[in-house]
Amino acid sequence: MQQPSAESGVVVEDLCKTFKVPVREAGLKASLSSLFHRETRDVAAVDGVSFSIQAGEVVGFLGPNGAGKTTTLKLLSGLLHPTSGRCSVLGFEPRARPAALLRQITLVMGNRNQLQWDLPAMDSFELNRAIYRIPRADFVRLRDEMIELLDLGDLVNKPVRNLSLGERMKVEIAGSLLHQPKVLFLDEPTIGLDITMQKRIRTFVADYNQRYEATVMLTSHYMADVQALCKRVIVIHHGRILFDGELASLADRFSLDKTITARLADGEEVKVSAARSEIAAATSKLLGERDVVDLTIEDPPIEDLIERLFSSEQRP
């Protein structure tokens, strides 16, 4: 037994999760024969993943659909049992679902809602208070803080079914944080939301992380989320880690060209691409030859980097 300790964040060692998937060919005959003899195939959703996250860190978890992101989050929150390997969260082993751990984590899934559909969020908050046994005074303080930070106002008094997608996500997040979790697993928290709402939620997560020194693991398809929140990213594909490190160094690794955009005195706009090593030379050349008013140097879009990462995996 390992000793739970307050310092440790998330530790994952050689984690594997294999699902048995029934194999069945199309057609009636095949379906009938599968009634008696069911063939299954092993699919490794998570295939030997190792990483560790310090307490208080915000890590972006990237990968295409079916890469194993959600499976990893489910393993970490105790919903799934690992096929092999180990993981620990705050020093606890999640698979046993110890209450002491569950009281300190939260799982938010952008495409599901856990608040009671027909009830105002306020009532669902009350239910969470009972589940987490939050003392009344703490509960009221935190609830009002969430209402203010997320600008919920009167939304908490309307039945959840009457809220818009974005509003629902905001109350959802508020409800998931009333017990002041130390570790947040956020699975696509901004999916389907408009830009303003995405920003709001992003700011809020950053704020919460600062305020409570909470560890955050975030998956998102929106690179803006990741860029705004996470210094470090873990890229996962086919259940394996392709990259684990600072977002900035991802660009170095693939040495993609940077883009220099210059606005000239006559109003013309010039774009020049240059490799990282030649960026200084290219810039001074441009400044020397043309009458430049304004100049920006941009990293390649993160989407391009990720795409490059995935395609490099396919040709080993």
Partner 1 sequence: MQGRDPHRTGAARLALTFLRVGVMNEVQYRVNFFIQLVQSLLTIATGLTALALVFSQTDDLGGWTRPQLLAVMGVFTIVGGMIRSVIQPNMQRVVEDVREGRLDFALTKPADAQVLVSVRDVRLWQLTDVGVGLIVLVIALIQIGDGVGWQAIVAFVGILAIGLVAIYCFWLMLASASFWLVRMNEVQELFDGVYRAGQYPVGIYPGWLKYGLTFLVPLAFAVTVPSEAVTGRLTWQAVTVAGATTVVLLALSRWFWQRGLRRYGGASS
Residues of the shown chain interacting with partner 1 in the complex, contacts defined by CB under 8 A: 19, 70-71, 74, 77-81, 97, 99-103, 105-107, 109, 111-112, 114, 116, 118-119, 123, 126-127, 129-133, 187-188
In sequence order, the β-bridge partners of residue 23 are 39
- Residue that is written with structure tokens 């803006």 in the block: 224
- Residue closer to partner 1, measured from CB, 185 or 243: 185
Q: How far is the CB of 70 from partner 1 (least distance, A)?
A: 6
CB 34, CB 24: distance < 8 Å: yes
Strands (E), 165-268: 183-187, 215-219, 232-237, 240-246, 258-264
C-alpha span between 285 and 108 (Å, rounded)? 50
CA R_g for the chain:
24
C-alpha span between 216 and 209 (Å, rounded)? 7
- Residue closer to partner 1, measured from CB, 185 or 204: 185
Tokens for 261?
């955009």
Find the helix or strand (DSSP H, E) in which 189 lies.
none
Give the C-alpha distances (Å, rounded to integers) separating 247 from 229, 233, 259: 11, 6, 18
Q: How far is the CB of 264 from partner 1 (least distance, A)?
A: 49
- Residue closer to partner 1, measured from CB, 43 or 248: 43
Instruction: Spell out a b/e string for 219-232, using b for 16 or more CB atoms within 10 Å of the CB, else e.
Output: bbebbebbbbbbeb
C-alpha span between 1 and 40 (Å, rounded)? 34
CB 217, CB 61: distance < 8 Å: yes
Q: What would the DSSP string read from start to end of 231-249? A: SEEEEEETTEEEEEEEHHH
- Residue closer to partner 1, measured from CB, 69 or 200: 69
- Residue closer to partner 1, measured from CB, 186 or 262: 186
Q: How far is the CB of 205 from partner 1 (least distance, A)?
A: 18
- Residue closer to partner 1, measured from CB, 51 or 125: 125
- Residue closer to partner 1, measured from CB, 171 or 274: 171
Give the closest residue to 184 by CA, choosing from 60, 7, 17, 50. 60
- Residue closer to partner 1, measured from CB, 47 or 187: 187
CA 284 to chain centre: 40
- Residue that is written with structure tokens 């009457």 in the block: 162
